[in-house]
Amino acid sequence: MRNQPYRITAVCLGNICRSPIAEAVLRDRVVAAGLGDVVVVDSAGTGDWHRGHGADPRSIATLLANEYVLDGHIARQIDHGWFDSLDLVLAMDSTNFTNLQVLAEQAGVEVDLQMLRVFDPALAHLSQPHPELDVPDPYYGGVDGFTDVLAMIERASDGLIAQLPARIGR
């Protein structure tokens, strides 16, 4: 048994759209699976543009409309110092995946880095990083893009949660 919680961090570019949605969905799924006492979920961005800001209002509205909770989210930027305390890092797209690989190398730590959508059973056959595994950035579009992103994240999250007990030794 683990002495510390299993730490999952979802990462996108600015930590205001995709990764906060992933954080809320994954946290909901973790609690529903009865793993809330042993799994911690958070999120970050690779860029610093939105550091210190709240989640995009469209992300919050999409989450609320689908009965997810994301209270008090403040955008943060991941750096190489994070990697020694993370168990699973989930990249939202190929660019984030590549940037996270560089940060992990700088940290000199092996981390389980995955693109979130590799956990979608319909996409699990694709090698990372693959463009079809990208969760597209909805920032410059309308509300429909946020709804599409939520659906992608939900499918992938369900796949991850199915694997999570084996990953944490339960």
Active-site annotation, residues:
12, 18, 137
Contact 55, 76 (CB under 8 A): no
Q: Reading across the β-sheet that carries 112-115, which strands appear in turn?
A: 39-45, 6-12, 88-91, 112-115
Q: 12 vs 1, 113, 124, 169, CA distance in Å?
A: 31, 13, 20, 28
Q: What angle do CA 153, 86, 82 make, to 5 degrees?
A: 105
Q: 166 vs 17, 78, 81, 119, 156, CA distance in Å?
A: 29, 27, 27, 14, 17
- Terminal C-alpha separation, the chain: 8
